Amino acid sequence: MLRPTLDPALAPLIGLAAGLALAEAVQAQTGAGPILKWPNDLLLNGRKLSGLIVDLTTAGTGIRYAILGIGVNVNVPEDAFPAELRDTATSLLRETGRETNLDDLLGQLLTRLEVCYGQLVAGEPVVDAWRSAPNFLGQQVRAAAANEVLEGVAEDLDTDGALLLRLASGELRRVIAADVHLL
């Protein structure tokens, strides 16, 4: 549970900061180089390694609290994944060939999360740090929102964490929330 002093419009930045912290922790602990996928996933060798979720409650014009959930497939053998997920999901064990110490990974994550979250609430540009890390920008994607499906190139992130998607028509669209898949 976090109590950020952020405008609710900037709440998506919490997930970006957490994703960045997790990517750094995985890299430091295992040597594996995950890719950040907007808005809330880490990919490793093209498959989903982890997901993040931020649920928040607002009060007036501020955030009362935010609950950050992080799920990582760590020591999951390949045959433990359902057959329909084996091509799209992975684990650190599957990718590195060795078990990862959970306590050490958690320690790395918490250390890095404290730094990234601290930078966010201090007003530092988390989006710039996210852009600098290995990410999916420049890739062709499909973004499925509640009322439309868009395809284009994931061009950039806006300062509030929204995805900037370049459509085939040349139009640049802001995507605030969607399920995004690489094409």
Confidence of residue 145 (pLDDT cuts 50, 70, 90): confident
Domains of the chain: 8-132 (3.30.930.10), 140-182 (2.30.30.100)
Q: How far is CA 40 from CA 73, 162, 170, in A?
A: 14, 12, 26
- Condensed to tens digits (0 to 9), the pLDDT of residues 74-118 reads 999 999 999 999 999 999 999 999 999 999 999 999 999 999 999
How confident is the model at residue 60, as a pLDDT? 85
Task: Pick left, alpha or beta for residue 140 (phi over 0 → left; psi -120 to 50 → alpha; otherwise beta).
Answer: beta
| 60 vs 166 pLDDT, higher one | 166
Q: How far is CA 16 from CA 12, 57, 60, 77, 122, in A?
A: 7, 18, 24, 28, 15
